[in-house]
């Protein structure tokens, strides 16, 4: 017996990003011979859609993004990403400032993290 699928999903395929070949398995070898995972595509109503656009996943993502935990997790990730971008550009921010802004955020929002 195969795995049960979410309602509305007719088929799942994996496309190799290097060669463009369609594969039934999620694994492929990159140029260095390292195993990597493919991103799945789902067939819904006759069309292939990416994993983020599938209705059964889209609803849970929307619920997570609108929750308090999801919001602050996304905010903290954005702060870290911007810090990395600034360091790449040679714009350094003192660690004291970064630490104090994160502590402020934790205190402000009831030590949520």
- Please write the tens of the pLDDT for every residue from 95-106: 656 666 666 666
pLDDT in the model for residue 1: 40
Q: Please state the pTM of the whole predicted model.
A: 0.52
Q: How many CB atoms lie within 10 A of CB 74?
A: 12
Where are the chain's structural domains? 11-62, 67-108
Phi and psi angles of residue 40, each rounded to the nearest 5 degrees, phi first: -75, 150
- Condensed to tens digits (0 to 9), the pLDDT of residues 57-105 reads 888 888 888 888 888 888 888 988 988 888 888 876 666 566 666 666 6
């Amino acid at each position: 017996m195969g795995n049960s699928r979410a309602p509305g999903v007719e088929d799942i395929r994996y496309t190799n990003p290097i060669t463009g070949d369609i594969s039934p398995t999620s694994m492929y070898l990159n140029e260095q011979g390292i195993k990597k995972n493919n991103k799945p595509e789902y067939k819904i109503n006759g069309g292939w859609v990416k994993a983020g656009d599938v209705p059964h996943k889209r609803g849970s993502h929307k619920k997570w993004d609108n929750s308090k935990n999801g919001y602050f997790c996304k905010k903290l990730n954005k702060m870290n990403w911007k810090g990395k971008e600034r360091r790449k550009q040679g714009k350094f921010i003192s660690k004291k400032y970064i630490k104090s802004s994160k502590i402020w955020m934790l205190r402000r929002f009831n030590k949520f993290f």
